[in-house]
Every structure is written in structure tokens, then in C-alpha cells.
Amino acid sequence: MATLPLLKPSSRPEHYCCCYSISRVMNSSFRNGRNSKKLFLSSFKKPMITKKCFIVQNVFSDSKQKLEENITDQGIPSLLNTLRPDSASIASSIKYHAEFTPLFAPNEFSCPAAFFAAAQSVRDSLIINWNATYDFYEKMNMKQAYYLSMEFLQGRALLNAIGNLELTDAYGDALKKLGHDLEAVACQEPDAALGNGGLGRLASCFLDSLATLNYPAWGYGLRYKYGLFKQKITKDGQEEVAENWLEIANPWEIVRNDVSYSIKFYGKVVTGSDGKSHWTGGEDIKAVAYDVPIPGYQTKTTNNLRLWSTTVPSEEFDLSAFNAGEHSKANDARANAEMICSILYPGDDSVKGKILRLKQQYTLCSASLQDIISQFERRSGEHVKWEDFPEKVAVQMNDTHPTLCIPELMRILIDVKGLSWKEAWNITQRTVAYTNHTVLPEALEKWSFELMQSLLPRHVEIIEKIDEELVNTIISEYGTDDPELLMKKLKLMRILENFDLPSSVACLIKEKSYKASSKTIKDDLVEESRILDEQDGLVAEDEGEEDVKEKKAVVDPVPEPSKMVRMANLCVVAGHAVNGVAEIHSQIVKEQVFRDFYELWPEKFQNKTNGVTPRRWIRFCNPELSSILTKWIGTEDWVLNTEKLAELRKFADNKDLHNEWMAVKRNNKLKVVSLIKDRTGYTVSPDAMFDIQIKRIHEYKRQLMNIFGIVYRYKKMKEMSAVDRKAKYVPRVCIFGGKAFSTYVQAKRIVKFITDVGATINHDPEIGDLLKVVFVPDYNVSVAELLIPASELSEHISTAGMEASGTSNMKFAMNGCILIGTLDGANVEIREEVGQDNFFLFGAQAHEIAGLRKERAEGKFVPDPRFEEVMDYVRSGVFGSQNYDELLASLEGDEGFGRGDYFLVGKDFPSYIECQEEVDEAYRDEKKWTRMSILNTAGSFKFSSDRTIHEYAKDIWNIHPVKLP
């Protein structure tokens, strides 16, 4: 362990002060007034009590006059231009935090201690820009966007923050002075456990781009204490344990104890003497704000991610119960409140689990909207004009999780602010917008009406009225002349599912349709009775109609369908914009998922193809490649203007670039070799192709097809001589990573199967380094930052039409990885940009899927012999004693839950393994493969989240970039 060295007094203490003293003084200045120059300057007249060699009398070597000249009428931030910290001042700042804001014992300056001290030092610099940005937004009162998301998959913040501040080298040198290596220190930071998959990572990329492009915008989320879970891989497959990312502390966050809001659940709605609805009684909790700075790249703009943590006031602690020995009861209220922010996506198989999820979603929406409205009122001053609210506020719902912000905004405007229904609805529709991220039915959220009515009674009243107005709109649009068409539209489009029509509407439709339908209904009943009797063997083939009428069919009573609230429908009805996240996905949204709404309101629907930040996903995670890009393009401007990456195309055949390119790829692969050894114990060769599939484990993403392809490859290898297999097959390391949701049994079976296949193949001496299979446990952003730069082939093999976008494919392409995939999600656009010859395509297309499923349901599908061969090989027990009948059964049969190969693994398997043979052939040609790799990076220019944010800002939010003075 290193001890904290005594730094020399000559280490430019003026900059040491900049790193921590100025931020402290400036925080006070901003709290007490926007331009408290006098307070700021006077603070430096007072000596600080410091330890060892830090003497504040020498803070500024220049005169006080020079200091005052630099503090212009623009405000304190201009001082930053003259007080840029160097490595010596940074080392002093780190040392200060190790001594005065410690989280560890003072006797040893360990690597973890160095991380926290360094992070606190960086945060000091961020706070200056953070406060200045906040102050500027308040003063300018421009329109601001607010991004509501249940997930923000941030990853580690240290390297990203110092990279955006352009202080990476300075911090590296400073830590070296203190006896530590920057990379080793950065590895001490746990990933923030605030997300799980692409939804959360997209939100984080968006926050980076918003700050970098100087857009006024905040993110809102929940501060999960234990995240989703930490994944362990054992002999039994995936095991889940609680995340410990907050076990010591989070050095980036600042709790805002003065920013808290009351959140209500349960209770009842009563009508007051004023005729207004009042939500009373029930359970009250408190949401407290924790703020995390989001710095932009090469800009002072530092936006905010506000996370809510839940608790109750101290008076809710039942002291009398505690003193009576009922200790658990005394703390019930606090425990119930804190449970809301314990886990991301708690299991919802139970009623209690469903209630907890709904509480989470409402907490996010209510606390965020109360905060947004508070800011609007404060910035408006004495005269608040509510009609101006949509001109100052844009709320983006990231998927359906924040849907409750719609009735919550309505509730606040009507019940609290006194607006009419018409005024509130007009404001709400102009304020909120919705991003759809899925076509999977289970992800288009529905909530039990009964549960929601119990938990949020006032919101249910509002939703019922929105639904009633929607019914009237549909009737107005389609009329009542065709009752069958009208009923079909109402059934598909209503927010409330399995509800009777309002009485006035029902009478109107009944009157129109009675005569036309009475005979049909009678005939239908007779025919239905006949069919049921035939199924029960009660009707002979020659029985006539009269015989049927004399039969009495015994029919089991049909259970009453559950009443549900369809959140996606509510989003579409209330939002002024609805967007998909890739061209093909947006078409499916318009043509299938929300077709009826698109016919009614085509102007609402847009496409916004996702993007990823080139800062984290090339510049910082792949610095060697970044240097090559800068060298060959001739400028580092590509970090902000990724269009310049296209200039690489003219060097695609350059031998020198090829040599440099391959050297960087190998160095990145060597890092992954160490990662795999450390995480799994397996030793793999850096000379093998790195074939990677890292994403959430789900049947539609078809990790099962990938591992089946590996099994087929292994079986064929075993049937060959050593000479033949070496001649036919390229060495591969097949790497998997991703979490299966804890209650998703089939996904967990897939994880278990992958690890079993790996255990067999990796210990087969006949195969050796020709094939390895590795499952990297606990996949997260930090693991991705190692795997993606080292990847050579990446698998994006979802069933066509089911992946909304998939942003990992963009990260792989940016880092010179070649993709194998279907025409699904953003694959379509990536293939167009990188060139068809530089993308390995296989499988059925989206427009064919429905027909293929129908073919399967009718029993007409004939599986390929190679697919059957793999199934038989798995059943032979070659991969251990585990019984995989239930896993394999999902690929068999024609229909039924968990049967019939709904995701068409068997259908696409032959095309997939044939495409993998093309991959082997291309990889053998080093020059061709390197050229393809370069062209993938060159073609990824379109997929920066900067481009996506510009489109959101222009087409949905109507906000404009504003640069701090």
C-alpha cells in the first residue's frame, strides 16, 4: 500500500485552490446571489486552516487586480479560463480530499482511497461548471427538455469526466506523483447500478450528447440501492446477488436535502364544496433528490441527472412501538418507503411485486413533475402563465415506464393549480412525447385496473375521462354507419381494455346494429353449438340442423376477462409525438403496433434512429484506435463531428493503416485475454477470432441460435481428423455476456446451456485453441468497454422485426468490428452505410415472419436436417447430465405457450451456419478482413447520439443549444 506523499510547497498552490477551495466558495456565492463577486473575493482574504504545506496566503501569485479583471460581468465562470489545473495542483487537490473528506483510514493511501479522492477532486471542477450551468438556465429561462427514464446505465464516471474536461494526462501524471496508476485507480470504481440494457445505455448516451451540444436538458430517474442484480455464474447457471455499488459511497452524487416532494398512494377521492376533486388519506412518502453532474465534451455545459430516493419524515418512526419492543413495526413506514428504490424491476409475478413496480413508476413521475413545475414557477416570477408551460418545458417518456406523468400532470394542473380540464389537457398534450422501444406485447405495459384504482384512485378517474374522450373522437372519426368497424376500432384503440362502452355510446351503437346483427347472432350461436358438439364427439357427420337444435351443448363458463389499463395507448393519445428508434422499427410501429392510431393521427409519428456517444465508445474506451483515427483523418474533430470518419474510406487499402489497425486490435484483444482469465479462469488465444454476443439474454435475441451454431461447429470438428479440422475452421473464441431476468426461466436455461457447452469444449484437448466458449459474468458497461474494442465479429441475430434498434451494433461498428445479423433494428441502416459486402447477412426478413409463424402453426414447417442433428447431439448428453428437454421443447411442436419455435431459430439456422462459413473464409484473408473492419468504422459516422439529439431537439422538443459565456 502506498502512503500519501508530502507534496512540495512549490506545487503551484494557486491551482490547488482552484480545484477545491474556489468550488467551495463559489457554491456559497451562487446560493447567495448570481454575481456575488464581492463575497467571492473577500473569501480569499481569510486564511484557511490547512495541513502540512498548504498555505492559502500564496493562492494567487498574480495581483488581486488581475483576479478582479478576470471576473467579468459575465460572472464567475470566466475565471476558469485562467485557472486551468495542472498535474501538480491536481495532486494537491487529491491529497486534500484524501485527508479532509476521507472514506478510508489515514494510515494508508490505497488504490480505492486514491479513486475516491481523485473522484472528489474531479467533482470539485465539475461543480464550478455545474453551478454555472444551472445559474445560466435559471437566468435565461429558456425552454428545457426533461428526459424521464427508469434506467440510466452510466458506467464508470472517472475517465469519462476527466476526458470531457480534457484532463486525462494531467490526472495520470498527478496520480503517478502519488504512487498510483490512473487505469488501476479508475478500475476501483463500481459501475452505477441504475440500468440493465440498451434502454438505460441509450439514456446515458443522450445525456452525454445533450451536455456536449449545449442543449438545456436534465435527466430524471430513480436511485436504486441494489440495482438489478450482480450476476454470478456457478455450476447451476446464473445466480443473482444484490449489487453493492453504494456500499462505500458514490463520490459523484450530491444529496439535495432541500429538494424533496411528497408522494401519495392509496386513499380516496372526495369532492369538495368548491366542486373540485381532492385526494385524501392513504400513505405518504418523501422523494429526495440526489444530483449527478453530466459534463459535456470541450464545453462548460454540465447538465444534471436528478435521481430520486424515497424515505419518510422522522416523525413516521413509531417511537412508542420501538420502546415497547416492537422494533420492526416501529420502522415499517420507513422500510416500506425505502423499498421503492431498492431494486430495479422487482419481480412482478406476485401482487406485491406489481404494486412495488407501479409505486416506482409513479414516484419517478410525480417527483419529477413536481420538480419541473417548481422550476417553471420559480423562473416565471410573480406572474405564472400556465399556457406558456409547453413553451418552456418538454417531457420525453423513455418507453412506457413514465406513462403516469400524463395523469399526474393533469392532476397537478387541475386539482392543485386550478386549471380547467380543457386547459390542462391542452397543456399536457403539447408537453409530453413518447419513445417506443419495443414491439414485444409483454413490453407494451398493461396494468390491472383494480390495482391502479386502489393505489392511484385520482389518476384512474383522469384516465377514465381521457378514455371517454378518446371513444368520442373515434366515433366522430368513423361514424356509426358500420358498427362492426367501429367496435373493432374501439376494441383496439381504447386505453381501458375489457371495459363496457359508456352507456350513451353503447345505446347509439346498439340502435344502429340491432337489426343487422340479430339474424347473424342467431346463426352464430347455432354454428358455435355445432362446432362445440363436434369437438366433444356429440355430432355425427350426417346429423342435420334440426338434430343440432335438439342437442343441449354443455359449455364451461368463460371467465370474465381482466380489466386493464393500456399504458402505450395512453402515451400515444396524450403525446404530441411518438417515435420509433430505427427506420424498420418505426415502420412496424406505424403499420402494426399502432396502425389504427397512425391512421387517425399520422402527423404524430416519427422515426429517430438511436445513436451512441463517440466519446465513451471510441475516444475513451479505445484510445489507441482514436489516435489512429486522428492521425489518418488529420484532425480530432471527428469526436464531435463523426461525419469525418467517412474520410477513412480513402485509406481503406493503405498497407500502413492496415498494420497499425491490426496492432491496435491485437492489443485490445490481449486486455480481454486477461479479463477472461480473471473472470472465468479460462485461457484463450489472442490469435483466434473474437466472436462476441453481449446483450440482455432473451429468446428473441437468439443467443440460443448462436450456441447451437457453436455446437454444430464442435460436432463437425469432432468428426474430422486434426489436420482436416485445422484446414477447415478458423480458430474462434466465442464470447457471451448478459443478464437473464431473475424470473425469466427460459433465459436462465439458455445461460446454463451456454456455460455447459463451454465447460465441455474448453476442456477438450482435441479441439484446443481452435474453439473456446466463454460466458463473461456480470456484463456491464465497463466490461463492454473492454470487449467491444477487441471484437472482430459481433452477433446481432434477433428475429427480424423484433429488435427496436439495438445500439450495441453501432458501438461494435464504430470500433471496426464486422457484424453478422438479420435485417432487424438498426442493422438495416448500418448495412446501408458500411456497405453490403462488409456485413454478413442471413435469415428471414420482417415482412416474412407472420407467414412463417402461420406455416409453423399449420404443421407445414420441415426442419433442416442439420438443425435436427444439433438437437439430437444435445440430447445425447455430451454436454453433461443436465436435462435440456424443456429448453429444446420451445423449438418443437407447432404452437402453444413455450412451443412452436416462436422466434424461428430452426427456420433461420441453416442460413446462419452457412453465413458463418462465409465468415471463416473472409477471416482467412487478412487484407480483406482489415479492409472490412476499416470500412465499418468509416461507415458508422451516422450513428452518433449527437445526430439523434439534434433531431429530437428540432422535431420534438423545440429546444435550442445555448453556450455558457
CA distance 28 to 45: 16
Q: Give first-to-last CA distance, the chain, whole Å.
A: 44
In this structure, what is the dihedral angle of CA atoms 138, 141, 145, 149, given to the nearest 10 degrees? Answer: 30
Domain-located, residue 278: yes
Q: How far is CA 443 from CA 436, 562, 593, 843, 847, in A?
A: 10, 18, 12, 24, 21
Domain-located, residue 336: yes
In this structure, what is the dihedral angle of CA atoms 823, 824, 827, 828, given to the nearest 10 degrees? Answer: 60
In this structure, what is the dihedral angle of CA atoms 646, 651, 656, 658, given to the nearest 10 degrees? Answer: 60
CA distance 888 to 947: 43
> Which stretches within 71-181 are classed as H helix?
87-100, 111-140, 158-164, 168-177
Per the CB < 8 A criterion, the answer to whether 389 and 431 are in contact is yes
Instruction: Supply the DSSP symbol for 296.
Output: P
Q: For 150, list phi and psi in degrees, rounded to 5.
A: -75, -15
pLDDT of residue 58: 29
Domain-located, residue 963: no
Q: What is the pTM of this model?
A: 0.88
Per the CB < 8 A criterion, the answer to whether 837 and 875 are in contact is no
Q: For 226, list phi and psi in degrees, rounded to 5.
A: -115, 10
End-of-domain residue from the set 434, 455, 476: 455
CA distance 393 to 389: 6
Domain-located, residue 226: yes
| C-alpha dihedral sign at 690, 696, 697, 702 | negative
Per the CB < 8 A criterion, the answer to whether 827 and 806 are in contact is yes
Per the CB < 8 A criterion, the answer to whether 217 and 210 are in contact is yes
CA distance 743 to 749: 11
Other beta carbons less than 10 A from residue 274's beta carbon: 8
Instruction: Supply the DSSP symbol for 7.
Output: P
CA distance 694 to 697: 9
- Taking alpha carbons only, the member of 156, 264, 144 closest to residue 215 is 144
- Element (DSSP H or E) covering residue 310: strand 302-311
pLDDT of residue 503: 76
Domain-located, residue 146: yes
pLDDT of residue 106: 86
| C-alpha dihedral sign at 416, 417, 420, 423 | negative
- Taking alpha carbons only, the member of 186, 184, 172, 150 closest to residue 343 is 150
Beta-carbon contacts of residue 430 (< 8 Å; ≥ 6 apart): 390, 576
Domain-located, residue 279: yes
pLDDT of residue 924: 97
Q: Which domain holds residue 405?
A: 141-155+191-455
Q: How far is CA 853 from CA 50, 407, 706, 861, in A?
A: 73, 38, 21, 9
Q: How far is CA 80 from CA 62, 125, 299, in A?
A: 15, 9, 12
End-of-domain residue from the set 439, 455, 471: 455
Strand partners, 777: none
Whichever domain contains 293, its CATH number is 3.40.50.2000
Catalytic machinery residues: 437, 695-696, 701, 807, 811
Task: Give the total number of structural domains in the chain.
Answer: 2
End-of-domain residue from the set 424, 455, 486: 455
pLDDT of residue 444: 86
Domain-located, residue 776: yes
Domain-located, residue 513: no
Rg over CA atoms, the chain: 31
pLDDT of residue 41: 39
CA distance 59 to 118: 21
Q: Across the 965 residues of the chain, what is the mean pLDDT of every consecutive 10-residue run?
A: 50 40 42 42 37 31 37 40 76 94 88 96 95 95 97 96 95 95 96 94 97 98 96 95 94 96 97 89 96 97 98 89 90 93 93 96 98 97 95 97 98 97 98 93 88 98 97 93 91 95 74 52 49 43 44 62 96 98 96 96 97 97 97 97 96 97 98 97 97 97 98 97 95 98 95 97 97 97 97 98 94 98 97 97 96 94 96 95 92 86 97 98 98 98 97 98 91
Beta-carbon contacts of residue 636 (< 8 Å; ≥ 6 apart): 630
